[in-house]
Amino acid sequence: MWKGRFAKDTSSLVQEFGESISYDWRLYPHDIAGSIAHARAQKTAGLLTPEEFSQIEAGLLAIRDDIEAGKFEFKASLEDIHMNVESELTKRIGAAGAKLHTARSRNDQVATDTRLYTRTEIELLLEALSGLQDALLDRAEKYAGTVIPGYTHLQRGQPVTVGHHLLAYVEMLERDKGRLSDARKRLNISPLGSGALAGSTINLDRRAIAAELGFDGVTTNSMDAIADRDYIAETLFAIGLCGVHLSRLSEDLILWCTAEFGFVVFSDAHTTGSSLMPQKKNPDVCELTRGKSGRLVGNLMNILVAVKGLPLTYNRDLQEDKPPLFDSIDTLKLILAVNTEMIAAMEIREQRCLAAASDPMLLATDLADWLVKQGVPFRHAHELVGKAVAESVQSGVPLDQLDLTKIDPVYTEDAKSVFDLQRALAARTNPGAPSVENVKSEVARWKAKA
């Protein structure tokens, strides 16, 4: 738009190649807020008259309204949101508009806009994460006493409850929230005033601008402020890891809804059928969550690799920061919304859970613990119980029905008392263990926190 040293127009191919307006248009509320704060500081510095400032402010707000109403025509020839807004402003208000870019560059502008955007979106993600935690808590409370096998290596290990299993994800999501909040804290400083890379000879009140935009302070090195994208990488890491957590939850639920496990039933509203096999009821939400989490991890790699080889300061490569940022945020929002709805409505098949949890092998470790309580060293106890397990496997007699006294004299009749599932669970009372009492008080603790 401003020709200056160029005698020729930009090739249309280069325009097409270089535009970012097709995706960065969505930064408009932040771009406009940043421009208003910048203009106010220009007025304070005596660079704009109060009338000029009012014209700029009203012009920018009118542009914002037009964008919101879908009445604004974005032009790829103007490359990005910053130039689209500024050029339209100048077209609408004339001379005052042409003063707006004093002591500012698109480099500090874009860093400001993406920080503001990321801050806003992190707040929405935190709320959505709490919503999913609430849905998990609700199910955990309902099924606090529903025993299932806990697995290692996807082999039955020891008894836990559905409540305990679901609360594990509440914990993970809480740490995801912590990571996002940390990222928000670090990113919430204002780069405006860093200019293209070396500040400006015209000193505006950076702190006043920062305060108006809700930043906690100002960046302290102009080169760092416009060159780094660590705040995007951090956010994408927090989102990627959250995606990994939700992918694992999806995988658990996919297993749980098979005929083989049969622990969970999803509402018809959250499953799909097969175009060929009439009996099918597929857990597509879980599968897509697992699949989309791959994109979230990919987006993190995308930003890291894009920034890796760049000399200071701004390089046009950095324009590529936004597609992965937007995609990860949009994707996680959708994942959270749909999973919250699905989990709130899912039902656990308690009889199937109980049947699976009634496998006496789940209490083999408890039997070893019983031997330890009789004074047998644990390694020896492990071996003794191993022998009983082998005997059970060979003979087909369930572990809890073997005559243990025949295996070793250290066993007494009382040994069999370990095969009481409810008792076994009730004994697991240490902090973090899955007794029903513990699970209930954990649910209460989480609910009180919210």
Best CA proximity match to 145, nearest among 445, 446, 442, 434:
434
User: What's the CA gap between 406 and 384, in Å, rounded?
Assistant: 12
Best CA proximity match to 400, nearest among 417, 375, 423, 383:
417
Minimum distance, C-beta of residue 105 to ligand ARG, in the bound complex (Å): 7
- The helix/strand/coil state of 428 is coil
* Residues 129, 176 contacting (CB under 8 angstroms): yes
Alpha helices (H) along 45-104:
50-68, 81-93
Minimum distance, C-beta of residue 139 to ligand ARG, in the bound complex (Å): 43
Token match 């959505």: residue? Answer: 128
Minimum distance, C-beta of residue 299 to ligand ARG, in the bound complex (Å): 16
User: What's the CA gap between 57 and 33, in Å, rounded?
Assistant: 9
Q: Which is nearer to ligand ARG, 43 or 106 (CB)?
A: 106
User: What's the CA gap between 387 and 21, in Å, rounded?
Assistant: 70
User: What's the CA gap between 192 and 391, in Å, rounded?
Assistant: 74
Minimum distance, C-beta of residue 359 to ligand ARG, in the bound complex (Å): 58
Q: Which is nearer to ligand ARG, 8 or 316 (CB)?
A: 316
Minimum distance, C-beta of residue 166 to ligand ARG, in the bound complex (Å): 41
Minimum distance, C-beta of residue 19 to ligand ARG, in the bound complex (Å): 8
Q: Which is nearer to ligand ARG, 79 or 86 (CB)?
A: 79
Minimum distance, C-beta of residue 18 to ligand ARG, in the bound complex (Å): 8
Paired tokens of 272: 């799909």
Nearest 5°: the CA angle 286, 289, 290 is: 90
Provide the angle, in degrees to the nearest 10, between the axes of the packed helices 50-68 and 81-93.
120
Q: Which is nearer to ligand ARG, 76 or 433 (CB)?
A: 76
Residue 235, CA distances (Å) to 108, 130, 140, 300 in order: 19, 17, 29, 9
Best CA proximity match to 392, nearest among 401, 381, 382:
401
CA max distance for the chain: 100
Q: Which is nearer to ligand ARG, 80 or 228 (CB)?
A: 80
- Residue in 11, 12, 274, 441 annotated catalytic: 274
- Annotation marks residue 274 as catalytic: yes
Binding site for ligand ARG (CB under 6 A): 20, 24, 79-80, 106-107, 110, 314, 316, 318-319
Best CA proximity match to 316, nearest among 5, 55, 52, 20:
20
Q: What residues does 348 pair with on adjacent strands?
A: 264
User: What's the CA gap between 163 and 140, in Å, rounded?
Assistant: 4
Minimum distance, C-beta of residue 308 to ligand ARG, in the bound complex (Å): 17
Q: Which is nearer to ligand ARG, 29 or 157 (CB)?
A: 29
Nearest 5°: the CA angle 328, 331, 336 is: 120
Written as one letter, the residue type at 179 is R
Q: Which residues are catalytic?
A: 153, 274
